[in-house]
A = this chain, B = another copy of it.
Amino acid sequence: MKPRLARYLPILTWGRHYDRSALTNDLVAAVIVTIMLIPQSLAYALLAGLPAEAGIYASIAPILLYAIFGTSRALAVGPVAVVSLLTATAVGQVAEQGTAGYAIAALTLAGLSGSFLLLLGVFRLGFLANFLSHPVIAGFITASGILIATSQLGHIFGIEAGGHTLIEMIVALLSHLGETNPITLVIGIAATAFLFWVRKGLKPLLRSFGAGPLLADIVTKAGPVAAVLVTTLAVWAFGLQARGVSVVGEVPQALPPLTLPSVAPDLLRQLVIPAILISIIGFVESISVAQTLAAKKRQRIDPNQELIGLGAANLGAAFTGGYPVTGGFARSVVNFDAGAETPAAGAFTAIGLAIAALVLTPLIYYLPIATLAATIVVAVLSLVDFSILKKTWSYSHTDFAAVAVTILLTLGLGVEIGVACGVILSVALHLYKTSKPHVAEVGLVPGTNHFRNISRHAVQTDPHVLTLRVDESLYFVNARFLEDLIQDRVTEKGALRHVVLMCSAVNEIDYSALESLEAINHRLRDMGVGLHLSEVKGPVMDRLKTTHLLHELNGQIFLSQYDAWKALTEPGKIVA
């Protein structure tokens, strides 16, 4: 009983050994992460089209729940850029920004996403996330980064703009450009420039002044806080709000409220597909971070338990005024680097954010939206990485096609269509590749027992024997290919008496391929040619033994290709 419970509640494992040293380390990490999270949470809520406080709320209960159910010791859960964009897209289709319906739809999306993740975890279906190939993810993240950065330009110029595709966004920006608020633009550009400098120039500078790497890192991560403080003070001191600078405004000074997601069937139906998409993309992002960090300490991540942890976190967000969350890359790395030892660090971060929600919220009344937009732009531009195009091009053109299509469609038709087409294309390209497997005609390397491709090596062959090595599992997508190929080769070669299929790389023969082999066997028999198999793997042979093929085989099964060669060739006929 105990181990089973501990599997579903990882807190029981690490909680038993929790000590003073771990407590100290976790507290330090929590303070650093809290400072980093406050501006980030506000900004991402804005990106999702929600009031700023939703970002803070989405960081409190989810962090606590993940600390109980999650397996990663360092993962920091909360709002992240890509999921916030996906939320804005999904919720924008069912409700108007700024309405109560919009906030409820966001809660509902978190609730659906949490339920879906929990289901996947309980039924151990985490492998479904594997359908997102790395090229599709990379292309999607790059395109999302561009979309997110573009979506924030309106806030930096102080104009209204919208749109879900790159072209829509650019058109909206250009058509409102005349309404630019110069003061907002100055704040936005200054904040952006400052944050870029903090990211690129400050750390080396601090190091050259003799600061330790950890201190340099913390100061760098506090850059957004400094930008927030300075611009907020400027707006307050110079009364810039009266001159058209948009500010965050009134934020309730309270702990996260208790909220209820909607159960209206219509709304649920409209949000279920986006919720699945958000869940899977969020899970993939989160698990990659978790595994990378866990490996550094030789710890184990259980992907299915991670689904349960993230599911609980999202359900938490749904009932406490939040919106969909996941494990974020930047914050988790900060948490890890700052020395977090257990998920308790997350719990302390949650407490820190709860205090901020209670105490600091009045102070952000004058915080300019443009500063938050600058925070987002600088954060997401690090996601944009076109090098994946070059890398995949040089490695494999099909992977390149998946990246290119995902980027183009995400930018051109929106995030949901982009990622869906990327996934479909990856699967289709994989099936296409395996539909035309590499088949080598092989011959004997003189003086050895080895058989190699006749077009790559100098080998011996016999005009009466055709030996084909198929470098792929045989299944329905390529079964007919093999039929065609053998029929072609055999009709070409008049003198042929034996065909040997060398199966060393055949990991599976499904029922379609079995029937194709039976058809090949019958057809070769009609032509007076024998069909032989060599080097069939154990599990494949176990299956074949249950079939008629072996009894009806118009030839033999050889353990090794060399046995086949000795039995079928005639010494006088061998051609070197």
Complexed CA–CA distance, A161 and B375 (Å)? 69
Can you list, as one digit per residue, whether each of A279-305 has a CB less than 8 Å from chain B (1) or not (0)? Answer: 000000001100110111011110100
Report chain B residues within 8 Å CB of A426.
476
A300-B487, A487-B295 given; A396·B511 CB < 8 A: yes
User: Are A477 and B523 in contact (CB-based, < 8 A)?
Assistant: no
Instruction: Check: A180 CB closer than 8 A to any chain B CB.
Output: no
With both chains docked as a complex, state the minimum distance between the C-beta of A302 and any C-beta of chain B, in angstroms. Answer: 9
Output the residue of A299, A430, A436, A522 with the most chain B CB within 10 A.
Answer: A430
Q: Does A507 contact B292, Cβ atoms closer than 8 Å? A: no
Docked pose: A524 CA to B136 CA in angstroms: 26
Query: How many angstroms between the C-alpha atoms of A292 and B527 in the bound complex?
Result: 12
Could you tell me the distance between the alpha carbons of A291 and B431 in the complex, rounded to whole angstroms?
24
Cβ-neighbour of A471 out of B437, B476, B507 (below 8 A): B507
Distance (Å) between the CB of A488 and the closest chain B CB? Answer: 7
Copies of this chain:
2
Interface residues as binary, A525-541 with B (CB distance below 8 Å gives 1, 0 otherwise): 01100000000011100
- Chain B residues lying within 8 Å of A546, measured Cβ to Cβ, are 394-395
A469-485 interface code vs B (CB 8 A; 1 in, 0 out)? 00111011111110110
On chain B, the residues within 8 Å of A127 by CB distance are 432, 435-436, 477, 480-481
Chain-B contact segment, one of A112-120, A227-235, A268-276, A512-520: A512-520
Query: Chain A interface mostly helix, strand, loop or mixed?
Result: helix
**A291: which of B299, B398, B523, B527 is its contact (CB, 8 Å)?**
B523
**How far is A537 from B294 in the complex, measured between Cα atoms in Å?**
32
Whether the pair A480, B296 counts as a contact (CB closer than 8 A) is: no
A134 at the interface (CB under 8 A from B): yes
Residues in chain B near residue A427, CB distance under 8 A: 427, 431
Say whether A399 faces chain B, with CB atoms less than 8 Å apart.
yes
Judge whether A133 is part of the interface by a CB distance below 8 angstroms: yes
Cross-interface CB contact of A537 among B287, B432, B471, B519, cutoff 8 Å: B471
Do A511 and B392 contact each other (CB < 8 Å), given the known contacts A292-B519, A487-B291, A523-B291? yes
Q: Cα distance A522–B288 when bound, in Å?
A: 13
**CB–CB A526/B456 < 8 A:** no
Q: Which 7 A-B pairs give the minimum distances between C-beta atoms?
A: A295-B523, A133-B476, A399-B511, A134-B512, A133-B512, A471-B507, A134-B515
Question: Could you give 24 example pairs across A and B, Cβ below 8 Å?
Answer: A127-B435, A127-B436, A130-B476, A130-B477, A130-B479, A130-B481, A131-B477, A133-B475, A133-B477, A133-B511, A135-B511, A287-B480, A291-B483, A291-B484, A292-B522, A292-B523, A296-B526, A395-B543, A399-B511, A399-B512, A426-B476, A456-B538, A471-B507, A504-B504
Known contacts A398-B510, A426-B476, then 14 further A-B pairs from the complex at CB < 8 Å, ordered by chain A residue:
A134-B476, A135-B476, A135-B511, A291-B487, A291-B523, A292-B523, A298-B491, A298-B526, A303-B484, A395-B511, A395-B514, A395-B547, A472-B473, A505-B505
List residues of chain A with CB under 8 Å of any chain B CB: 127, 129-136, 287-288, 291-292, 294-296, 298-301, 303, 391-392, 394-396, 398-399, 426-427, 430-438, 453, 456, 471-473, 475-481, 483-484, 487-488, 490-491, 504-505, 507-508, 510-512, 514-516, 519, 522-524, 526-527, 537-539, 543, 546-547
